[in-house]
Amino acid sequence: MDKKIAILYVIDGLFQGGKERQFVEILKGIDRNIFKIGIVTFNKNLFYSEQAKSLSDYFIELDKTSNKFKPFFTIWTCFRDFKPDIVHSWDYLSSLYVYLPSKLKSVKFINGSIRDSGTEKGWKNKLKKLMLKAADLVIANSKAGLESYNVKGEVIYNAVNTERFNYIEQNGEFNIIKVANFTDYKNHKMFIDAAVKLVDNKIVDKVFLAGDGIYKDKYLKYIQEKSKFVFSKFNFLGSVSNIETVLNKCKVGILCSTIQYSEGISNSVLEYMAAGLVPVATNIGASSEIIENTKNGYLVKADSADDLFDKIKFIKENYDAHNQMIINAKNTINTKFNYQNNIKKLSDLYIKNISK
């Protein structure tokens, strides 16, 4: 290929979250002999900002808080300066910003905003659907996501680079972890109610919670009120850059989602599996596209702390019998969520679209 294909990625912000982590993983894996990478983002100095900048050929980071209309004007400058062949948006607002310039400048518009299975509500949902229909191609990271927005598109599952994980058998402690920000989208109450009971009954040694958010202090106080003994076993880690090291301390990784906001393909669950933990998730949204219940992990009832408690208690009492489940989980990562395969699939879609 004589000329590199210029891909302009447009993403709301480089926060610490599953979407952003996946974005950075793609940047690391994309073939720079074929593609030239540009990035436009609308929030400054965030968790992945410096890393994303180092992986790009062109990087613009705006502060839309000072002027909400600034992105609409600046994006035209980015199209002029970077001259993209393809623009790939990562959320509904970014899709809105790039729609007009992509159409007027005959740039292929790939909408990659479906990374959930029903998070957006009300007018945001309608706007997102409108931008999905306007795209030249829709890419989702789950079948459940395409179905929830009732659009046709390609599914490219999250890619997990297993080289990040070097599982080391820890000292026999039975520790559990939940990796998720403290937002409305995740059911922390379900997890904490089960975890408090597990600690109180001396089934679990330590509980790790990785992530930040508006409800973190609320749940910290919630546990403090239970008992000093229980609270001493909880570790609120906040934002973590070395999640691989923390996962090495744990036996079970948990994700509790909400019925209201559903769930997409969770990076956290994939990382649990890659790190050699037994994954447990609520049976909501796309979680069943990752976990085959009782084969490579467990799916539990939505909003049921009791079901979660029972499942973890069962894992603890029968941990040696879960070796095959852990092997199956790693095999799932190495096949369905294979890093190299999924990066290649995305690259092939770019090349196919540019030739249309």
pLDDT, tens only, 104-116: 999 999 999 999 8
Strands 108-114, 35-41: pairing is: unpaired
Contacts of 330 (CB under 8 A, 6+ apart): 162, 273, 274, 276
d(CA 155, CA 140): 5
| Mean pLDDT computed over 158-170 | 79
Q: Which amino acid is at 42?
A: F
Q: Which CATH class is domain 5-159+338-354?
A: alpha beta
CATH number of 162-335: 3.40.50.2000
∠ at Cα 83 (79, 85), nearest 5°?
105
Contact 237, 212 (CB under 8 A): no
Enter the tokens of residue 234.
Answer: 């909880």
The pLDDT score that the predictor gives to residue 168 is 64
| Mean pLDDT computed over 2-18 | 91
Share of the chain above pLDDT 90, in %: 82
3-state helix, strand, coil in the chain (%, to 5): 45, 20, 35
pLDDT, tens only, 52-79: 999 999 999 987 666 677 888 889 999 9
Identify the weakest region by mean pLDDT among 41-45, 134-138, 153-157. 41-45
Identify the weakest region by mean pLDDT among 39-48, 65-74, 256-265. 65-74
CATH 3.40.50.2000 residue spans of the chain: 5-159+338-354, 162-335
Query: Residue 118 belongs to what H/E stretch?
Result: none
The mean predicted confidence, pLDDT, of the chain is: 93
